[in-house]
Structure 1
Amino acid sequence: MNYKETTEWLFNQLPMFQLQGAAAYKNDLSNILHLSNRLNNPEKNFQSVHVAGTNGKGSTSSMLASILQEAGYKVGLYTSPHLKDFRERIKINGEEITKDYVVEFVSNYKSFFEENQLSFFEMTVGLAFKYFADKEVDIAVIEVGMGGRLDATNIINPIVSVITNIGLDHTQFLGDTIGLIAIEKAGIIKKNTPVVVGEYLNETQKVFVEIAQNNKAPIYFAQDNHFDDLPCGLLGDYQIQNKKTVLQTIELIQTKFNISELHVKLGLLNVVKNTGLLGRWQQIHEQPTVICDTAHNAHGLKIVFNQIKKQNFEKLHIVLGVVNDKDLDTILPLFPKNAFFYFCKPNIFRGLDAAILKEKASKFNLSGEIYNSVSEAYNIVLNTASNNDFVYVGGSTFVVAEII
């Protein structure tokens, strides 16, 4: 198989959460442990930082990787989901895994995958860990896919664990309260391994402290510490707290890695250039100003809409699409009622029909029109909005992926 055929085979395998949602969720680590053993446990051949949380995982992981790159280290970065190309998930010093490596890996282990009914995510994690080991990275920053305790990435023994924050998301898998979700995220805390918590509530702090104490894991709460607000290439307001989480983490790993103040400053400034991270309060057009963002739950969207309020514009336009398992009752009340909406369906299996989205939105006094696709909605808004208007594109990672 060539690269296109290989990735199509991967996407068409057993359920993948990115496309199919609930059916992709596994309730134990037996498969990934079996795969890791087949690969000779590659995750044991490199040091790692493990990053979990409801929001900010990708930004935090990318900032950490960028700082380590500026310090001269060979840095693996594993994130998900991808926006355009599968290879975005697996990078070393900002360079995507090669197509040839992906093809060879799948070819070598395809029969094993099929015999053991591995999920898309399990196969991808195995690929990333073997790639990082084969390429002899100095350290890898590993972002969990969802949750933490049962996430396929949770077979690593990192030098530090990071939990960015806790919000209500993926409740059908992780629990329907903040406390239950915190327990799942805290599943990445390892014995005698420091853990950094970015943001916490009283309810989640108790969970983190108890689990950390049970594991004799030193715990650090980044939001309680003062750090200089350094300039960053990621411009969203939510990056303020993510930066604090990163700086707290860097403080801890400086005992093992030679990281200077200059490396930190350059790493934050050059994070997009160094890692290729996209879709975080990213401006993609001027006159009108167009911002796209992958925020898709209440915790993230609140910050995004507060930032929109700070902008100067005449009219607000919102290109909006979501997936069909999104809890609209929790997010639609957050959207500004003075905006005109361009309702559309992201081009994936799980995309919610735009007519259903419009009907639901009307119950929250959000008005607009239905469009046949994300690209049609985006092209119409560019031709409709005046130079002094503001356009926001979001609601789902998949909506952003179609226009950047």
Structure 2
Amino acid sequence: MKSLKNDFPILHQQVNGHPLVYLDSAATSQKPLQVIQALEEYYRSYNSNVHRGVHTLGSKATDAYEGAREKVRRFIHARSIKEIVFTRGTTTSINLVARSYALPRLKAGDEIILTPAEHHSNLIPWQQVAKATGATLKYFPLEADGTLELGKVRETITSRTKIVAMQQVSNVLGTVHPIKEIAQLVHAQSGVIVVDGAQSAPHMKVDVRDLNVDFFAFSGHKMCAPTGIGVLYGREELLEQMEPVEFGGEMIDYVDLYESSWKELPWKFEGGTPIIAGAVGLGAAIDYLEAIGLDHIEEHDRKLARYAVERLSQIEGLTIYGPKEDRMGLVTFNLGDVHPHDVATVLDAEGIAIRAGHHCCQPLMRHLQATATARASFYLYNDEADIDQLVKGLQKTKEYFGNVFR
């Protein structure tokens, strides 16, 4: 995997006089040359709108755009391209499900179940649905390390549970939740499961049919693709029942002065000029990841997480959050009483990029009894040497704030 770093031009630079060590891929991944070149080729050679035109550039752009949809279908093992809706990202995808599927169907007494570890993008939309419909918000109880116990999950789901919305991998703890088993419990009560796959799709094989999920959302920018492109997978029979939430342009079939009709799936949900370049980049990113192999990427990222936990555990005064084992490629921590923003600032002076704050998970921070945390996250272009540099940087941070540790 070490040779892969050569594919990422941005990593070959100095920051504050030090070689860049990029440990913030859970926020956004870097882009390989193959993706950058695909974007450049689109803008240089066949930049055009899709679907509407019959000229050569328009046909080539349409082929690339719809070709990317087929690559996504294959990537997550969906049955049909009708189940693949391009969006701006995970947030937009989840909001589409909340507004188009949940809002018209839920009523007072119905239950929506989340986990307290959800990213705000998979929490606030459901708060709004609950307020608008009178549905009840419930939460699966988290264990001390942020994992879920299936017995407690089973006890929480009832015949009134209409929607379970949850992450597959936590963006704070790296926890990998048993989605397949939870989906089975949800469906046994005739509920629907919505999965936030923002942190899982880049790092592990996803088979939506094997998981038996109803909706699955993820973003391109966390998996080597450009920003501004994402995917909503939805089971065809559910998407057919849903109405669009954006109107005009690409999504229409017939328009009269007083009535209109929509295109078939998936295009009825893609109003306006779509994110063509983003889809082209996403297709190139999928080609890149599949050439490496998602199994290899998952093994690599888990290995780095284990190594990071081992190395960081040796730093006196440092607290690691989340499971000791079975975590995806990130480690969240606090260094004594030093504020995470101060930790990140000192590390940045050493050329090390991490994330600090509440990570859009304020309820989880309260569960962890922390106002904020520092997070180092890894991807296919990282190696053990990057983690060693992180450890050296944290030791320097301890020296800089030495009075805190006396």
TM-score (norm 1): 0.29
**Whose RCO is larger (CA < 8 A, sep 6+)?**
2
TM-score (norm 2): 0.29
